[in-house]
């Protein structure tokens, strides 16, 4: 299952948190469809292993920089260097996220702040850092942020992530309005639970919630990283040119069910 070969030829993309999980599926898909891709994440060992796997498994060369989306100046430097290396930034995927389960009454200020800083402030920092490059994108820059359908509900044990992911959706709405004049489209994707990701292992499987969650997915199964990557390609390529300020649920129909 794929898009036309070379559909992203001539495009350059940055994926934050692109070394692991959903991010790495997005990188593989963008790269195999012709985009030049750069990734930023905190851990050098993850980056090196991922870049080797992208080359060995998919034959794609991926540029990388270590960086923390919480650090606006550091992210700006990383994006500028990557843009030089991959030929600009047409597509920004704000994927880096942090999360853990903790009841709100026990959540420390630092725990709250840490997740808000990674998820929400990190998305803001990435958008600002990419802006000068996105403005120069010849077919209109694309920003796609990873949110979650859980942000539409109360999310017991994840007040920090729920607030941040809701905030990301509103940030995309505002940016779509403000930066439309630059030809920039800003959208978000709400993944359902995706097999084999560290987040789902820790937040669902290790909490003993796999059966309960699966029961509430109308299509009856967890998704795959490639399902999210396909939505990113749609929004990144010419096919998505008139879509801005929108959210796409890729969740087996579960946005109308409660997970927990
Ligand atoms: C309570 C916790 C905690 C836990 C951390 N903290 N883990 N509190 N329960 N399990 C608190 C710490 O005690 C500390 O507060 C504060 O949070 C910061 O912790 P650090 O470890 O110093 O932070 P840091 O090293 O920056 O790590 C960030 C992190 C970590 C978010 C805490 O888990 C991380 O790096 N995760 C990255 C990967 C990740 O989470 N991916 C999953 C995304 S899944 P104090 O007060 O003690 O100083 C996702 C969607 C899943 O987003 C959707 C499923 C449906």
Query: Distance between CA atoms of 200 and 204, rounded to whole angstroms?
Result: 5
105 within ligand 1 shell (Cβ under 6 A): no
Structure tokens at 194: 């995706």
- Give the pLDDT confidence score for residue 2 in this predicted structure: 82
Nearest-CA residue for ligand 1 atom 30 is 98
pTM exceeding the 0.85 threshold for the entire prediction: yes
199 within ligand 1 shell (Cβ under 6 A): yes
Q: How far is the CA of 134 from the centre of ligand 1 (A)?
A: 31
111 within ligand 1 shell (Cβ under 6 A): yes
**pLDDT level of residue 258 (50, 70, 90 thresholds):** low
Q: Which residues lie across from 13 on neighbouring strands?
A: 37, 91
- High-pLDDT (> 70) share of the chain, %: 98
Q: What CATH number was assigned to the domain covering residues 12-194+225-254?
A: 3.40.50.720
pLDDT tens-digit readout, 77-89: 999 999 999 999 9
Residue burial 141-166, b: 16+ Cβ < 10 Å; e: rest: bbbbbbbbbbbbeebebbbbbbbbbb
pLDDT tens-digit readout, 129-175: 999 999 999 999 999 999 999 998 899 999 999 999 999 999 999 99
200 within ligand 1 shell (Cβ under 6 A): yes
Decide: 222 and 211 in contact? Cβ < 8 Å. Answer: no
């Amino acid at each position: 299952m794929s898009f036309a070969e070379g559909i992203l030829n001539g495009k350059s993309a940055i994926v934050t948190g692109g070394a692991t999980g959903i991010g790495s599926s997005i990188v593989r898909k963008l790269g195999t469809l012709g985009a030049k891709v750069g990734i930023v994440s905190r851990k050098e060992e993850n980056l090196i292993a991922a870049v080797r796997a992208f080359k060995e498994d998919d034959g794609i060369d991926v540029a990388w920089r270590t960086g923390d989306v919480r650090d606006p100046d550091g992210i700006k430097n990383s994006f500028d260097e990557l843009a030089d290396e991959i030929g600009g930034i047409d597509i920004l995927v704000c994927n880096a996220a942090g999360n853990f389960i903790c009841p709100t009454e026990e959540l420390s200020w630092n725990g709250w702040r840490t997740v808000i800083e990674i998820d929400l402030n990190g998305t803001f920092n990435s958008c600002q850092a990419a802006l000068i490059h996105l403005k120069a994108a010849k077919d209109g820059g694309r920003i796609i942020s990873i949110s979650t359908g859980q942000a539409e509900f109360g999310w017991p044990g994840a007040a920090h992530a729920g607030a941040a992911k809701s905030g990301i959706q509103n940030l995309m709405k505002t940016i779509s309005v403000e930066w439309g004049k630059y030809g920039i489209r800003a959208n978000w994707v709400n993944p359902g639970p995706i097999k084999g990701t560290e987040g789902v292992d820790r937040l669902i499987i290790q909490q003993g919630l796999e059966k309960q969650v699966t029961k509430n997915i109308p299509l009856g199964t967890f998704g795959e990283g490639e399902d999210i990557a396909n939505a990113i390609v749609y929004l990144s390529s010419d096919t998505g040119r008139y879509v801005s300020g929108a959210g796409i649920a890729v969740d087996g129909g579960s946005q109308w069910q409660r997970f927990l």
